[in-house]
Structure 1
């Protein structure tokens, strides 16, 4: 901007010149009045005090936005410790409002009687433990066996921020519904018929037009974040994940600034916060909650009162699905967390092992119900 004034000062004396810096993080235009008496005066002297204050306020606002992101990153990745009494009091209060789904199992079953249970499961932190390397987030053989039995009893879907193909490689169960990239890439169970028309079919991909844009940002982020040890940028096809689980907290501000800088040229992409991950997604109105509704409609339960959806997840992105169930007044959400969190879920489980125990009990209950019906 300075060079513009120095090169053009002689030609713009006495005029109001609109200068737009397209590369500016603030992405704004400022009007600068150049003095006719001194056309070659220093540019800094020609910017009004009001404009300088405006610039300063925008800089503060931009910095505050980055700081807000970092605060959000800390909130999802707690490193500060509380006193034992404070943690205990918070936990007790939270458990009163979000009791264990295992302890409340009988009440849950009573609420579902006469209705079709449909299961929705997040992957990371729900079916598999959270690990430092996201490429090694494998589910156990026991969990896979449990989910396979679950799918034989109830329609079952995996709803994940991961790329659909990657989740499928982890789960390896063809009989499930898969909603990858936060529901932006949905497909139904693979058909086992030998007919040529019964191959794999994609149900829904509402963000296909964003693929080139997402690839561009992915390449840019891979390059710009090389300077920060521990960062892993994951291309989930219809969205991007910037994992900072292995990044020193002192580097979080720098990482947030780099991600923000990469997105400033892409207003059609938005940033959301996950569990030690920054998620970059298209701005279309689609999330895990919308994916849940789409899958219920695909299963024929769009306006049914006799359906009982159960959604189990551990992340902030799962809150969209929890809220949908609460607003519908059907089924419920289960948050997987060892610590109190603000949530729209009705119940809680502490870890994937408890998730597996809950799913096993559902399977056992269903099998016993079928046996009882066969005797009648």
Structure 2
């Protein structure tokens, strides 16, 4: 577990004298605490203003890659001049407004509402509920009695996969995405390759995330970037280079980056 004072130790020599870096971040559980309901999420003012200063410095490229929908993510963060990516990377919007969204088949689009309807009738009760993100969704079950969860997951996966959608485990939730071979890691690669020249892998890249889908970003930048997994469990299996404890730790990392890059 990386201590609160270790950011210089782990990042100073990595960044070296580079005048520009790329900073990729998850949102829920990284920039903001995970609330009981997604709509209650608020990025702490100090974190938001620190990130805004970093993004406006001209020295740090900032992208946020989240499981939320693109519009929801933009509204929650509210910082101009950065890249936003929603629905686990299916939606990407560059600072100039260009969108690099993944194409979803007509069949998957047609089946989406039927699938939501069936899940609502058959599994979304006893504290389970669906967060509809238009092209994907999250089945939340943190309010359920623990003994009911195993059956919920079996039934939900059966229904979701019968429509061809893919499932991903998350914190007290099940993510469902269209049948496309895509993830946060591939989104990160597309964001970086679209934003920089063909030598984008030579750029210094830092990523922080707290959940299973974030591991795909950690794997994607392994070998040329540095990544942090936010977790309280020292024994968590992760592809991250370092582990830190909390959203507050992320703020400390952002402040270190600001002091390093933006003074």
Same fold (TM over 0.5): yes
Partner of 2:111: 213
Is residue 232 of structure 2 the alignment partner of residue 338 of structure 1?
A: yes
RMSD value, Cα = 1.8
316 and 101 in structure 1: CA distance in 2 versus 1, 3 angstrom threshold: farther
SS at 1:312's partner residue? strand
Question: Of 144, 163, 169, which aligns to 1:247?
Answer: 144
Distance 2:208 2:31 in 1: 9
The count of residues paired between Structure 1 and Structure 2 equals 258
Partner of 1:138: 42
Flag as ranges the 4+ runs of structure 1 deviating above 4 A.
none
139 and 289 in structure 1: CA distance in 2 versus 1, 3 angstrom threshold: same
Q: Whose Rg is larger?
A: 1
Contact conserved, 1:160 with 1:183, CA < 8 A, in 2? Answer: yes
Question: Of 333, 340, 358, which aligns to 2:253?
Answer: 358
1:258 deviates by: 2.7
Contact conserved, 1:159 with 1:182, CA < 8 A, in 2? Answer: yes
Partner of 1:169: 75
Is residue 40 of structure 2 the alignment partner of residue 112 of structure 1?
A: no
Distance 1:121 1:105 in 2: 19
1:334-376 per-position Cα deviation (integer Å, ceiling 9, x unaligned): 00111121000001221111101110110111123xxxxxxxx
Distance 1:316 1:270 in 2: 14
Partner of 1:224: 122
Partner of 1:320: 216
SS at 2:100's partner residue? strand
330 and 232 in structure 1: CA distance in 2 versus 1, 3 angstrom threshold: same
TM-score (norm 1): 0.65
1:287-339 per-position Cα deviation (integer Å, ceiling 9, x unaligned): 0000010011111144345301111000000000101111xx11111001111
SS at 2:204's partner residue? strand
Contact conserved, 2:73 with 2:86, CA < 8 A, in 1? Answer: yes
SS at 1:256's partner residue? helix
SS at 1:202's partner residue? coil
Distance 2:113 2:14 in 1: 45
1:172 deviates by: 1.1
334 and 265 in structure 1: CA distance in 2 versus 1, 3 angstrom threshold: same
* Structure 1 unmatched ranges of 5 or more: 1-94, 192-199, 369-376
Contact conserved, 2:93 with 2:99, CA < 8 A, in 1? Answer: yes
Greater helix percent: which structure? 1
131 and 367 in structure 1: CA distance in 2 versus 1, 3 angstrom threshold: same
SS at 1:204's partner residue? coil
Partner of 1:155: 61
Is residue 88 of structure 2 the alignment partner of residue 182 of structure 1?
A: yes
TM-score (norm 2): 0.91
Query: 1 or 2 for the larger relative contact order (CA 8 Å, sep ≥6)?
Result: 2
Partner of 1:287: 183
Distance 2:4 2:189 in 1: 23
